[in-house]
Amino acid sequence: SQQGEEDPQALSIQEGENATMNCSYKTSINNLQWYRQNSGRGLVHLILIRSNEREKHSGRLRVTLDTSKKSSSLLITASRAADTASYFCATDKYGNKLVFGAGTILRVKS
């Protein structure tokens, strides 16, 4: 299985602090993607990092990928209450499906 697994399972921080979530996976991949899901809602694509990339930025998001350790991290800087959601990493091995991890529940307190 190429499943991605996130840690921590849950994270609670104050508004303005940074949030870091980690993801590990088991097999080689084509790319790794991060998604956000607000409670009971759909999945929103945040960022994609290819297997030959090591770091990527998008606004307040920073993603790293270490293929030797089969791990990735998502950093959200200067968090806001609106960032409260579940965050999932998902791996794409052949470009034909995503395998999701269990997710990290992030709560940002104002």
What is the contact surface with another protein in residues (CB under 8 A)? Answer: 30-31, 33, 35, 40-45, 47-48, 50, 88, 90, 92, 95-103
Q: Of 14 and 39, which has the nearer Cβ to another protein?
A: 39
Query: Per DSSP, which regions of the chain are E strands?
Result: 5-7, 10-14, 19-24, 31-37, 43-50, 55-58, 61-66, 71-76, 85-92, 99-100, 104-109
Please identify, using beta-carbon distances, which residue of 83 and 103 lies nearer to another protein.
103
Q: How far is the CB of 98 from another protein (least distance, A)?
A: 7
